[in-house]
C-alpha cells in the first residue's frame, strides 16, 4: 500500500531516510527512477542511506507501476521517492487512483524554473501537471521535513 509519494532530486538521503521514514508508518522505501534502475554504482550509494529497519526496492518507473498494479506491493507500507515531477506524474497516472498525495521536497533550479520554496523550483510545464493532478483530487504540497508546515500548491 502506498502511504507517501515524494519528489526529491536527491532521492534517498538523510531527510527521507531519517525524518520521513521515521515519521511515517512505513516499512518499505521504493526508489522509482529509470536511471537508478540500471546503474549499479548509484544503487550502491543509495543503499548506504537506507534505514536499518527498511526494505529498499529500486525499480524503473514502468516496473514500479507494473509491480504496484499487480498487487505484489500490497503487503508493504511504502514510501515512494521519485526524482522529478514528470516521474511522479507518470507514476500517479499509471497506478489508477492508488496515490492521493504528492509531497514536493526538492527539485533543482534549472533554466526556465520559478522558485516556489527554498528547495522547490518548477517549470511552467511541471506546474501545469501539478494543477492537473490537483483537479484529480491529489493533494500536492511542499514540505521538506515532517515537522514543517505543509504549503499546498
Candidates 119, 115, 69; CA nearest to 91 is 69
SS3 content of the chain, % helix, strand, coil (to 5): 35, 25, 40
**Residue 35, C-alpha cell as written in the block:** 536511471
CA distance 88 to 107: 12
- pLDDT value at 31 more than 90: yes
Q: Which residue matches cell numbers 543503499?
A: 47
And the C-alpha cell for 28?
518499505
C-alpha cell at 102: 504528492
Report the predicted TM-score, pTM, of the whole model to 2 decimal places: 0.96
Element (H, E) at 103: strand 101-106
Shortest CA distance to 5 belongs to which of 61, 66, 75, 49?
61
Is pLDDT above 90 for 140?
Answer: yes
Q: Mean pLDDT over all residues of the chain?
A: 96
Give percent above pLDDT 70 in the chain. 100
Query: What SS3 class is residue 61?
Result: helix
49: which residues sit within 8 A by CB, 6+ positions away? 12, 13, 14, 16, 17
Q: Domains, the chain, ranges and CATH?
A: 2-152 (3.40.35.10)
Give yes or no for residue 98 having a pLDDT over 90: yes
Q: How confident is the model at residue 15 (pLDDT cuts 50, 70, 90)?
A: confident
The pLDDT assigned to 17 comes to 87
Residue 144, pLDDT > 90, answer yes
What is the number of residues in the chain? 153
Amino acid at each position: 500500500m502506498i502511504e507517501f509519494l515524494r519528489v526529491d532530486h536527491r532521492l534517498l538521503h538523510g531527510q527521507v531516510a531519517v525524518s520521513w521514514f521515521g515519521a511515517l508508518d512505513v516499512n518499505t522505501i521504493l526508489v522509482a527512477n529509470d536511471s537508478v534502475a540500471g546503474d549499479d554504482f548509484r544503487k550502491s550509494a543509495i543503499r548506504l542511506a537506507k534505514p536499518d529497519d527498511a526494505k529498499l526496492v529500486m525499480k524503473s518507473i514502468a516496473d514500479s507501476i507494473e509491480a504496484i498494479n499487480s498487487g505484489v506491493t500490497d503487503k508493504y507500507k511504502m514510501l515512494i521517492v521519485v526524482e522529478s515531477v514528470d516521474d511522479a506524474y507518470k507514476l500517479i497516472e499509471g497506478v489508477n487512483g492508488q496515490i492521493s498525495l504528492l509531497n514536493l521536497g526538492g527539485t533543482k533550479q534549472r533554466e526556465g524554473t520559478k522558485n516556489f520554496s527554498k528547495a522547490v523550483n518548477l517549470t511552467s510545464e511541471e506546474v501545469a501537471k501539478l494543477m492537473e493532478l490537483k483537479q484529480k483530487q491529489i493533494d500536492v504540497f511542499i514540505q521538506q521535513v515532517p515537522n514543517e508546515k505543509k504549503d499546498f500548491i
